[in-house]
Amino acid sequence: MIARLLGGAVILLLPLAAWAHGEHGSAKPPGGTAVVTVQGYEVELLSSPAPLAAGQESQLVAKVFKNPPLAPVSGGRVLISLAPAGAPHHPRPAPEVTWAGSYTVAVTPERRGAHQVRVVLEELEGRRFEPPLLVDFRVGVGQAPGNAATVWSLVALLGGVAALAVYAVAVRSREPREAALNLLEISWLRKLLTSPAFQPALQVPLLFLMVIVVLLGFFDIQDGAVNLATKLTWTIWWAGIIFTFFLVG
């Protein structure tokens, strides 16, 4: 029983920890014009977290697509820099991280106000540009939102509730045990679970859903941040984990 409660607490806390930490999948446009087309390439600027905040480390992500067709360009040489409006730029190499065609660099704005992000395309698809292609984005840098304290307060609250639940179970375990609940003693539930049609009724729709997810993975836009297959996979995975731990036990 204690192991089940601990497992449930971990499942509840994991999404909150991921929310507090952040990931590339949550990257958003930092403000202003976020997509620019140059010489047949489409460059989209994202940041995580968004918007940018003074004194807060952020990831600037330049997503480069070939247009047409709209496909990510992998294996290029891309540089990115952030500077206050009117200040000189010092672009740094941006490695390709997480998703194909997504070039990322870490920045920490020093002050608030208008800034400019410069994306330098030196080489794409084996083609070297002389001079390099320059793409500029205007962005604003604001004050740090300060959401971390709220998130971690919620994590601490849930952790306290889980600890109290474990303590209550430990105290109750010292008392004389009652007979365990046998769900199969409930007639209608026993008939449902032992019916020959029960497994096919679950398996066929789930198999059909999995085929749809696989097809989306191949035929939807080949960008993991927006491909529906990745979103559906996470949704189904969490639903399955919650069902397994809390209902089946």
Half-sphere exposure of 177 (CA within 13 A, CB side): 7
Helices (H) and strands (E) in the chain, counts: 5, 10
Please tell me the pTM assigned to this model.
0.51
> Given a cut of 50, is residue 13 above it in pLDDT?
no
pLDDT in tens, 102-134: 999 999 999 989 999 999 999 999 999 999 999
Q: Which residues contact residue 83 at a Cβ distance below 8 angstroms, ignoring those fewer than 6 apart?
A: 89, 90, 115, 116, 118
Residue range 181-193: average pLDDT?
Answer: 80
Overall CATH class of domain 24-142: mainly beta
